[in-house]
Amino acid sequence: MNKRDYFLGCHVGMNATNNYLVGSVEEAITNNANTFMFFTGAPQNTRRTETSKLKIKEFNELLIKYNFNKSKLVCHGPYTINLANTIKKDTFDLGVRLLKEEILRLNDIGVSKLVLHPGAAVGAELQVALDSLIKGLDMVLLDKDIINIDITVALETMSGKGTEICTNFDQLKYVLTNSKCNDKLSVCIDTCHINDAGYDIKNNLNDVINEFDLKIGLEKLSVIHLNDSKNEINSHKDRHHNIGYGKIGFDVLNKIVHNPIFKNIPIILETPWINNFCPYKDEIQMLDNSTFNNPFKDLIKE
């Protein structure tokens, strides 16, 4: 594995076919990653394999063998959680239940970073949706079964597609400031999402970093999703592209990886596979070498 002074990895699978968590570590190793992100089950449904079957012992042995820092591993919460939904109480209640179950599962696995989509207002006013998100987070994080668990819920910056909330730093600041569980909340910046939401990281990266620090605080940044974007700034589209092939560009994304202020933050690639080809190993190599070499020129057709 590449010896680097930053944490750069990718999304990996976690399923029965690939031996559950053992396969997750092996996939990360194949891509020369020194961190990774996984789902504990299919992101679009509520079905979950009990943790006793996930090969946790073997998982931990592999992490030690290959020198992974477990505190830098990331789990992504299921997409089915929408704590911002006040239109359908059943959806909110389901989100509370699923988030609690996910944290309990992660406690069994021993991973403490959980990225969560803040949700969508689906017809309600923005303020109502933000308050609903806060209510749901507090219900879960103050629950007697959860309150003593070491967990950080990283709310992801969203692109503004549809009625998504937390599309800017002010909204995230409101949630973190008004939650009773601020100590268990943080932020995951997705580079594609903030570009599509209107933050000009391509031309004014330092200004965006400074604004985040001023409004939220860099100490609250716990995960970065590193993705190029297929769309121009402020498009509100949320279409990830491969590193160096989108509207953000390689140079800016490379600067993020090598910025010393992010050296302790797990940086995770979620770029799209290309015709069933996994791009992560090539993208990680380019970022390690700070050189864009156009590895997918024969695969990506615009």
Binding residues: 76, 117, 156, 190, 193, 225, 238, 240, 270
User: Is the Cβ–Cβ distance between 117 and 77 less than 8 Å?
Assistant: yes
> Do strands 8-11 and 185-190 pair parallel, antiparallel, or not at all (unpaired)?
unpaired
The residue type at 16: A
Nearest alpha-carbon partner for 25 in 61, 51, 49? 61
Residues β-bridged to residue 186: 154
User: Is the Cβ–Cβ distance between 239 and 230 less than 8 Å?
Assistant: yes
Give the torsion sign (CA, 259, 265, 271, 273). positive
Binding residues for Zn(2+): 76, 117, 156, 190, 193, 225, 238, 240, 270
Q: Can you tell me the distance from the alpha carbon of 201 to that of 269, in angstroms, rounded to the nearest whole number? A: 17
Helix H or strand E segment including 241: strand 240-241
User: Is the Cβ–Cβ distance between 13 and 278 less than 8 Å?
Assistant: no
Q: Can you tell me the distance from the alpha carbon of 66 to that of 24, in angstroms, rounded to the nearest whole number? A: 13
